[in-house]
């Protein structure tokens, strides 16, 4: 098993000593060194969440039967090879995504509530508020023994600011991951940045060991400087500096964890991406490939990945769909628009199937990565024409899933397995 690159952009972080006390990515604290067991008797468990924007054509998503013998609906056809590890959960609703007196803003609330079920605060400013999300709750346990407690990825640039929808900050559209009720996590869309966060400057063992040694050298130097600074400042500043030092110590524990794990086994040859690929499909597949490798190397066990942002107007001319996705999602039950929207939904599902194939073909203990993972795929809108926050498109795939055949979450639920 190889652990190569730590999560923090260290040089930027260390230069910020005089101006920054707490950074959003410094909250994940990895405990003191613990032994990993990835044997066949005790495989690690992994959890992922893949978000699709602008709802789905539910008539072509929802299977017609319940129980293990259900037939796959048209949109779900790409998942046929994984049907024995597939559970489709129907009838789910997010009541906290409803207006509740706040008026329009359905897309913002769709993504903001998807993994927490908390009604977001309507604000255009920096005082955003929602709720800690399921991925971050899981990362507190699953991420204790990995250098990255979690990984947050997207395809769209995480750069929109201000008011994006009827008094709601763009933050609610930019991410589906919240570390706390007031701490949304940024989603990275550049594969090169993701690669460097995971693997450093290269994929060989020697390169990764050299990277860890360099990081330790930088950290030792900065720790000495901070200790001297702490002796020279007042009580109030010392308390703020302590928060920073806590983060430095957490980084040191991550280095210790990485050094303690085996460094004599090679991953497949890796080339650092040059940036964002020219096509959407290549971009999505590359990000999925990086997630698969992150799982394989046990760099992280929890991820969130947004295939698109709510309100997004991406077009798919290679599918014969030149219409902007968001506009098309308001189909008014026009058969032609519904057919195009279903084509997009099926295409996204095919890209997801690419990821599942990667995991299924990668050995892990007594099975595969897919056997020891649970990945949830879905979105915060059902019928987007009505901005419906009920009958949501949701499914889970993987051998580690624990889903009862009768699920009750705020109402009657049906499952298909």
342 domain-assigned: yes
Report if residue 292 sits inside a domain.
Answer: yes
Paired sense of beta strands 373-378 and 394-397, if any: antiparallel
- Give pLDDT, residue 13: 34
pLDDT at 206: 60
CB 39 within 8 A of CB 365: yes
pLDDT value, residue 356: 98
Give me the CATH number covering residue 302: 3.40.720
In contact, 184 and 174? CB cutoff 8 Å: yes
* Short-list 388, 191, 182, CA closest to 288: 191
Order of strands, edge to edge, in the sheet holding 414-416? Answer: 151-154, 302-306, 46-51, 373-378, 394-397, 86-90, 414-416
User: Is residue 4 a part of any domain in this protein?
Assistant: no
Domain hosting residue 98, numbered range: 31-203+267-416
* Radius of gyration of the chain from its Cα atoms, rounded to whole angstroms: 22
As separate numbers, helices (DSSP H) first and strands (DSSP E) second, the chain gives 11, 13
Does residue 238 lie in a domain region?
Answer: no
Residue 186 lies in a domain: yes
Please give the torsion angle defined by the CA atoms of residues 130, 141, 212 and 284, in that order, rounded to the nearest 10 degrees: -60
Element (DSSP H or E) covering residue 232: helix 205-232
Helix, strand and coil content of the chain, in percent to the nearest 5, comes to 40, 10, 50
Distance CA 282, CA 290 (A): 12
Q: Is residue 142 part of a domain?
A: yes
* 16 falls within a domain: no
- How many domains is the chain partitioned into structurally? 1
pLDDT in tens, the chain (417 residues): 333 333 333 222 333 333 222 222 232 323 333 333 444 446 789 999 999 999 999 999 999 998 888 999 999 999 999 999 999 999 999 999 999 999 999 999 999 999 999 999 999 999 999 999 999 999 999 998 888 999 999 999 877 678 899 999 999 999 999 999 999 999 999 998 888 888 766 555 566 556 655 555 555 655 666 667 777 777 767 765 665 565 555 555 555 555 555 444 455 555 778 788 999 999 999 999 999 989 988 889 999 999 999 999 999 999 999 999 999 999 999 999 999 999 999 999 999 999 999 999 998 888 999 999 999 999 999 999 999 999 999 999 999 754 333 333 333 344 555
- Structure confidence at residue 402 (pLDDT): 43
Phi, psi (rounded to 5 degrees) for 16: -90, 15
Rounded Cα distance, 16 and 26, in Å: 13
Cα–Cα distance measured from residue 408 to residue 128, given in angstroms and rounded to the nearest whole number:
30
Rounded Cα distance between 384 and 127, Å, is 28
Beta strands in 262-350 (DSSP E): 302-306
Is 262 part of any domain?
no
Number of other CB atoms surrounding residue 130 within 10 Å: 27
Residue ranges in 261-316 assigned as alpha helix (H): 280-296
């Amino acid at each position: 098993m190889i652990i190569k690159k730590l999560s923090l952009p260290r040089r930027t972080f260390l230069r910020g000593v005089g101006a920054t006390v707490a950074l959003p990515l410094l909250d994940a604290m990895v405990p003191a060194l613990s032994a990993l067991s990835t044997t066949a008797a005790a495989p690690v468990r992994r959890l992922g969440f893949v978000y699709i924007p602008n709802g789905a054509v539910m008539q072509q998503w929802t299977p017609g039967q319940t129980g293990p013998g259900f037939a796959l609906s048209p949109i779900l056809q790409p998942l046929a090879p994984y049907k024995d590890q597939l559970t489709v959960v129907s009838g789910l609703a997010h009541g906290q995504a409803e207006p509740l007196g706040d008026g329009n803003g359905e897309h913002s609330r769709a993504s903001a509530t998807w993994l927490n079920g908390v009604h977001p605060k309507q604000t255009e400013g920096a005082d955003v508020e929602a709720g800690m999300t399921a991925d971050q709750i899981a990362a507190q346990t699953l991420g204790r023994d990995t250098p990255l407690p979690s990984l947050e990825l997207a395809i769209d640039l995480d750069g929109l600011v201000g008011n994006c929808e009827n008094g709601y900050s763009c933050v609610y559209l930019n991410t589906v991951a919240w570390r706390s009720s007031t701490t949304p996590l940024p989603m990275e869309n550049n594969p090169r940045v993701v690669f460097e966060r995971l693997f450093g400057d290269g994929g060989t063992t020697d390169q990764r060991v050299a990277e860890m040694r360099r990081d330790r050298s930088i950290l030792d130097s900065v720790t000495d400087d901070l200790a001297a600074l702490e002796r020279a400042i007042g009580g109030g500043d010392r308390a703020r500096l302590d928060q920073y030092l806590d983060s430095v110590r957490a980084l040191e524990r991550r280095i210790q964890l990485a050094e303690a794990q085996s460094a004599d086994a090679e991953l497949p040859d890796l080339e650092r991406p040059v940036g964002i690929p020219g096509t959407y499909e290549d971009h999505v597949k590359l990000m999925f490939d990086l997630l698969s490798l992150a799982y394989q190397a046990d760099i992280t066990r929890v991820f969130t990945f947004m295939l698109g942002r709510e309100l997004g107007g991406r077009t798919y001319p290679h599918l014969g769909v030149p219409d902007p996705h968001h506009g098309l999602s308001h189909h008014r039950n026009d058969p032609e628009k519904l057919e195009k929207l279903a084509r997009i939904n099926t295409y996204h599902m095919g890209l997801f199937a690419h990821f599942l194939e990667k995991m299924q073909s990668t050995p892990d203990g007594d099975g595969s990565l897919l056997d020891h993972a649970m990945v949830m795929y879905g979105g915060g809108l059902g019928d987007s024409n009505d901005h419906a926050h009920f009958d949501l498109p949701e499914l889970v795939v993987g051998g580690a899933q624990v889903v009862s055949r009768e699920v009750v979450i705020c109402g009657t639920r049906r499952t298909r397995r």
